[in-house]
Structure 1
Amino acid sequence: MIEREHHYQVNVKWTGNKGNGTQSYKDYERSYEISEDGKPVILGSSDPAFLGDAKCWNPEDLLVAAASACHKLWYLHLCSEAGISVISYVDRAHGTMREGKKGCFTDITLKPEITIRPGDDINRAQALHHRAHDLCFIANSLNFPITCQPVITHSQNG
């Protein structure tokens, strides 16, 4: 297989200067915008535990979302190749981060609820999650476990 490099650029702009910059820990907001030409702006902040805005996406949310989305995209691709028709896919992913002197994520658990076409092989659909995990660029880049606990059902509509 030919190895190719892909490059990704994002602009992250801090928008939380309330007039005094970072003069003191509580003098500034943790807000920021993620942008790139041609894409909608994503509003971000830190986790509320670190004085962030709970209504905005924080880096930890985005890491869990990246792992979930990458897995899903590979899974849909593999199902398509295997002749399994996915009708719906909703993941309720969860990540755990440990605070401390050197905080880190300890795990991410993916919990996709998947509906496939009646008659498609649920066991095969289940097995494709292992392959999707092996191919996921994000999972391959992280140094902690990502587990997948899928629930797969057949569509009630023929």
Structure 2
Amino acid sequence: MAEHTYSTHLVWQGSTGEGYRAYRREHRAVAPPAGTTVALSADRAFRGDPAFLNPEQLLVMAASSCQLLAFLAVAARAGVDVLDYEDEASGFIDDGSPPARISTITLAPVIRVAPGTDPAVVHKLVEQAHEECYIANSLNSEVTVEATVL
């Protein structure tokens, strides 16, 4: 496999001179060559603005997106016609169990396939995709996939 590098650019401006409670958590990031700027903040629990995405959400979103893309690839290679895929993903942090980290991510995709497709084959492809997912393979968090096949 070839090597790939992923770069981002992040910007924050403000002052921490007034202490932890006072500084702004809002910042922005871009990942060239994509031109979309993402406005970010901390989670509300960490004095952030809930109107913006936070890093914890981005991590869960990345795991969900990677699973989708890996699944679509293995399904296409296996000749399985996937018609719809929708995931309700969640991540969990237990502040009382150091070190602070997202310890579990649960992906719950609902996958609709062409009529006559064997659900067992789809579940096997979900597992294969999970094993091939770059993001899940990069994390030390437990990532589980609980797929529903329609």
Shorter-chain TM-score category?
Answer: over 0.9
Q: Does 1:34 align with 2:36?
A: no
Partner Cα separation in structure 2 for residue 36 and residue 121 of structure 1: 39
Runs of 4+ with >4 A deviation: none
Partner Cα separation in structure 2 for residue 36 and residue 64 of structure 1: 18
Partner Cα separation in structure 2 for residue 29 and residue 113 of structure 1: 38
RMSD of aligned alpha carbons: 1.2
Partner Cα separation in structure 2 for residue 54 and residue 43 of structure 1: 11
Partner Cα separation in structure 2 for residue 44 and residue 89 of structure 1: 26
The CA deviation at 1:32 is 0.8
Q: Does 1:63 align with 2:59?
A: yes
1:8 corresponds, among 2, 6, 9, to 6
How many residues align? The count is: 147
Q: Does 1:54 align with 2:20?
A: no
2:123 corresponds, among 123, 126, 145, to 126
The CA deviation at 1:97 is 1.2
1:84 and 1:121 in contact (8 A); partners too:
no
Q: How does 1:101-112 map to 2 (within 5 A)?
A: 101-112=98-109
1:75 corresponds, among 71, 76, 84, to 71
Task: Give the TM-score normalised by structure 1.
Answer: 0.88
Q: Does 1:89 align with 2:85?
A: yes
Long gaps (5+) in structure 1:
154-158
3-state SS in 2 of match to 1:52: coil
3-state SS in 1 of match to 2:4: coil
Partner Cα separation in structure 1 for residue 31 and residue 128 of structure 2: 31
Partner Cα separation in structure 2 for residue 99 and residue 136 of structure 1: 27
Larger mean CA deviation between 26-35 and 46-55 belongs to 26-35
Matched letter for residue 14 of structure 1: W
Matched letter for residue 142 of structure 1: L
Identity %: 36
Partner Cα separation in structure 1 for residue 107 and residue 122 of structure 2: 15
Long gaps (5+) in structure 2:
none
Partner Cα separation in structure 1 for residue 94 and residue 55 of structure 2: 14
